[in-house]
Structure 1
């Protein structure tokens, strides 16, 4: 029997994550007369690897693939092609968030998007099963089941909708096994450590670490199981739970030709609506606390707000004052969060590691390390010890019954593990020994304790963690940052099982101690006046994305002391040219039930709903709704008897209009704040300007039809403005060759003028 995580055997660092101390059996063979872990079959041909799997488990394959980035594309395609050619093979692929290269819907979009997609996605091998599913031509012997869709990807795909599994992320392993999974295949990273080739699940350990244990149990029950890894050297080599022993795998596919470019969706721009939400949220984060955020422009906006709060606090507070945030919500901010710079800093506990976490680490916002030992973490929380090791630390450890007065071998292992003792010291028969000295291991004697402190103590605590994460996905520079990061810095990010971050049960004591003042920040689509949140689907039953870990974090916020769930809702949305409110009276689908209501944030403010009666919940949500919809919402609530007939919306909440927000933020943009891409972009400046301009015109035509375009103005001059030429060159419309291209040229110029890009 071997531990599931064997990193300590090779690095000298004991396990940091108590969630993975359970034993797991590995395949073994006789070696020098003893049982030793056998090595996986090595392959350089995907089809040969698939043949090996078929010879092991048979022709009914239930293939589990990781969510998002960690899919082994060449292996997945080999399985698909094998089943496509041999219809006696039954292949069911179970996965989530299938990456696809986007497409365009018009020649004008093609001119803008094709060069971007070639630059960003060039060399990424498309997944055959995804193309077949997209084109509705999956054969009868192949099926695809997902428990989380790439948002909006399969709204019109009946087969995908019918095969969707609704589940919490922490239940994914249960559901995979219930569906008969017998093959788990992942993209993995490799690195040689101390002369030994090692493997890392890198971007996706979140499900497979628990899945391996379930598969091992199934093996013991007589079921045939195979674990396969496909090496990709472009994957950053991550530590923590992601670092696994070679013997975990039954087969490994490894050849330089399979080191394909990683799927890297470009970053979204952050608009005024998102920045306002992010600034509100940034004021609700408590110094010394815990942070969970997700991908996208809202996550970027929060991180930007936190960095602004930490580095330019005067400007940060001035914005909160001028925007009216402090006047309207100052009491909630003071009670829940804060506006001062981060003295202690934050710790990240997140399902998804997104690139803003790296910026928050670099800029000193995330700097509170946590340690995998309850006693040590408790002393840190209480302020009795600090990361720099004080001369009195041994006395405090004895006083807290963490180590005994007369040190044991176990005590010394603990002290060296966390850097309290320098690594050369070891215990031998009641003595502390290095290569030169022997000291009695007795802390009860003041003189000996002082001698031990002088000789043995290290300078700072070691093996702390800044962020626990489950999986990652992001832009190209995010992966490059991780690859360039020195190993000792990467070790501060523990990529591990989703069951560690997303739930409390199992190691509750250490999780509660680490997750002080947690703020779990997630995004919803709609919120009802009762406080129920809609995040994953529509009331007609169609699924937009999935539940993922949102419910996990919301329920955890209600279970942890001093924790809060924050749901971000954009107050309005535009669809087919129509503006609608995302705060609604009621809706026929729910992701987060109303009894778990907590904090809701829109661009207009903060609604603290926890422990409040229904009338106050409805009032608080109306007060942060767009003012164009407030009266209608109030009327519905009064009609239902949920708000007293005498209630009136306070005047300070009746100016919730996007124009006011734009005017507020414009002043600060003129000072260099609130850039469109706070953490960089894969788009050039011309591409961003073009995308913004064409999107604006598209929304106008959807709203008022093609006649909304002032064609007379668009065609009023024969000559093209000089300022428009770089944009037209980028669109290959600087020298139009026919009537169609002339019309497209005029449309682009009109769009640029309409959005002020040429002024």
Structure 2
């Protein structure tokens, strides 16, 4: 069993037992034992002769805002939602450029956009596929692994890696091998009282760890509140939802586009008539009908989906609660073969002995085959074999020949559901507070259906490839990009000047996997335009100085205007398909660039069906289908007043620029009296403004509230 230590004693044990530089590995995201990491960090700051190297990803910090209206909105919200979550001390110093010379932080994925201007973080970023992270961290000489874990009173000898088995399960065999060769490597665990206990591969014996912090962590888990789903994102999600095939496999990522896809799938299943009517209004079922029929569908989910996603996001749990994520897969190849052949029902129980035979089960049961079926859970344990006969309860004996009608009739009553079914495999999770609460509400048996496991199982095909291919039928790996070249290359992780926004993560893994599976598709979600520095710009461009997914791996791209199926197409066909889903404000220039570079015929004319790709066309549909365009379709951490304020502040951000200063000034002059929005003003401490600055803030806020009050849903 691990040695129980206080935080300070655990720090001293590491300093004492690790000779030379400390190479500390921490899980990405939620699974870091922040309080202990802070204690070690502060101790090493006092010991300049001790080198501390930290290898991790996705270091989570509270959102910050500059002084002004944004800060007035954000600070009370942050205090309420993040409560006593302990910030990582090294993250604060890294942001301020104050890391001491003896401490280094390397990350392979960063909180999106948080380190764009930080030279230290940019210089120490490691570009690795998610599935290669364990290999690369181990190669750096990792000698301390520290992680938050969960416990269950019914499983006292076990820890659950809970939110982060992803890299840890891949690392442990590598580290164990080094330990067996005499290297000193320490494993440290700290229990968090609110972490859900996830079983299966995520459950490991306590004795695997050397140190356990004696006091469980009780502070708030870091959460990612559901943000508003914009009209642009909703339309992207609607188009993408038509490409998901019933009975297939689904992977989605974090963010509002993933939430929009979830909302659209919910509408497809529970509000199908209105869902189809909206698709017709978007011209989706006419312009993209061939792709929808070939790749996906628009009917309700009769078979359900299996989730296979590196990140177990809130949307996947919502889909599971709605009965959409429900197609079970099994860890044993033979059982999965039976399931794939249609021999098992939705609960995993064989339909009949004859169904098992039709699926390829041997017709004669000997003792080893009987034991195998019982190990899989398919036959009751009380059946035994003796000299070609099966002994059943009640002294009944039947031949071990499964083609025998008497045997079939007798055994059909002893068929049982297969063991260890899973409707979802995930590598890590992170989400809103309601997501953690919901997982903790589930019974242990219900939670077992969400199988948290190592990232190499999810993100790669090799290793149990035959099993994975059967499980991942009709896979739709759906991720996001922020820019797409007109030739089909995707940009998702860094700017063309080399500055990293986030990281490659597992995106390349899933794109490559989509090409390796016979019936899978990679779907990249893209907002066709963005507003930046006061200008509206296209996210579909002729060229870009960096790519995440090269154009030879191009597949499907979805924007708010439609679907571009690029697989196997010529360059000119790819260009035309992307022009069809680009914003019409930029189509002429894109056509000109393609023609000037000889990639598009000079006589090319854009189909008139795609010449009205404008936000105004989509806005006209919003009021008519308000139930589907719910901006908080997956729940909300904001109060009603905060929702109003969020819309108003977004409007102000979009209008506070030189070219629209006259419009903004006019709006402030015409702003309503404070009484019209008193609860919102009170939330911002602007009900009774003091001084010129606060009076200006109040007028600006009132203008924004008035301008956006009609868009509330």
Q: How would you bin the TM-score normalised by the shorter chain?
A: over 0.9
**Among 486, 505, 509, which residue is 1:552 paired with?**
509
Question: Map of 1:231-630 to 2, 5 A cutoff?
Answer: 231-256=191-216, 258-387=217-346, 393-397=352-356, 402=361, 405-409=364-368, 411-425=369-383, 437=395, 439=397, 442-444=400-402, 446=404, 449-450=407-408, 452-454=410-412, 456-458=414-416, 460-630=417-587
Q: Does 1:115 align with 2:76?
A: yes
Q: Is the 8 A contact 1:568 1:601 kept in 2?
A: yes
Separation in 2 of the partners of 1:742 and 1:429? Answer: 93
Residue 57 and residue 398 in structure 1: after superposition, are their counterparts in 2 closer, same or farther (change >3 A)?
farther
| Post-superposition CA distance 1:228-255 (Å, at most 9, x none) | 1111011011112111111211111131
Q: Is the 8 A contact 2:490 2:549 kept in 1?
A: yes
| Post-superposition CA distance 1:444-499 (Å, at most 9, x none) | 572662465155322x4442110000000000000000000111111100000110
Residue 42 and residue 285 in structure 1: after superposition, are their counterparts in 2 closer, same or farther (change >3 A)?
same
Structure 2 residue matching 1:264: 3-state secondary structure:
coil
- Of 732-741 and 674-683, more deviation after overlay is shown by 732-741
Residue 401 and residue 67 in structure 1: after superposition, are their counterparts in 2 closer, same or farther (change >3 A)?
same
Question: Map of 1:154-233 to 2, 5 A cutoff?
Answer: 154-193=115-154, 196-233=156-193
- Which residue is 1:12 aligned to? none
- Which residue is 1:681 aligned to? 636
- Which residue is 1:32 aligned to? none
What TM-score does the superposition give when structure 2 sets the normalisation length? 0.96
User: Structure 2 stretches of 5 or more lacking a match?
Assistant: none
Separation in 1 of the partners of 2:136 and 2:606? Answer: 47
Separation in 1 of the partners of 2:413 and 2:277? Answer: 51
- Which residue is 2:109 aligned to? 148
- Which residue is 1:24 aligned to? none
Q: CA deviation at 1:416?
A: 3.1
Task: Number of aligned residue pairs: give it.
Answer: 712
| Post-superposition CA distance 1:541-584 (Å, at most 9, x none) | 11110000000000000000110000011000111211100000
- Which residue is 1:693 aligned to? 648
Separation in 1 of the partners of 2:73 and 2:240? Answer: 34
Q: CA deviation at 1:47?
A: 1.6
Separation in 2 of the partners of 1:673 and 1:510? Answer: 37
Separation in 1 of the partners of 2:395 and 2:106? Answer: 63
| Post-superposition CA distance 1:492-527 (Å, at most 9, x none) | 000001101111011110000000000000000111
Residue 604 and residue 392 in structure 1: after superposition, are their counterparts in 2 closer, same or farther (change >3 A)?
closer
- Of 375-384 and 497-506, more deviation after overlay is shown by 375-384
- Which residue is 1:76 aligned to? 37
User: Structure 1 stretches of 5 or more lacking a match?
Assistant: 1-38
Structure 2 residue matching 1:660: 3-state secondary structure:
helix
- Which residue is 1:14 aligned to? none
Separation in 2 of the partners of 1:389 and 1:160? Answer: 48
Separation in 1 of the partners of 2:317 and 2:359? Answer: 35
Separation in 2 of the partners of 1:428 and 1:63? Answer: 57
- Which residue is 1:139 aligned to? 100
Separation in 2 of the partners of 1:595 and 1:73? Answer: 42
Separation in 2 of the partners of 1:436 and 1:76? Answer: 61
Structure 2 residue matching 1:42: 3-state secondary structure:
strand
Residue 753 and residue 51 in structure 1: after superposition, are their counterparts in 2 closer, same or farther (change >3 A)?
same
Q: CA deviation at 1:722?
A: 2.7
Q: CA deviation at 1:383?
A: 2.4
Structure 1 residue matching 2:656: 3-state secondary structure:
helix
Q: Does 1:51 align with 2:9?
A: no
Q: CA RMSD in A?
A: 2.1
- Which residue is 1:6 aligned to? none
- Which residue is 1:729 aligned to? 682
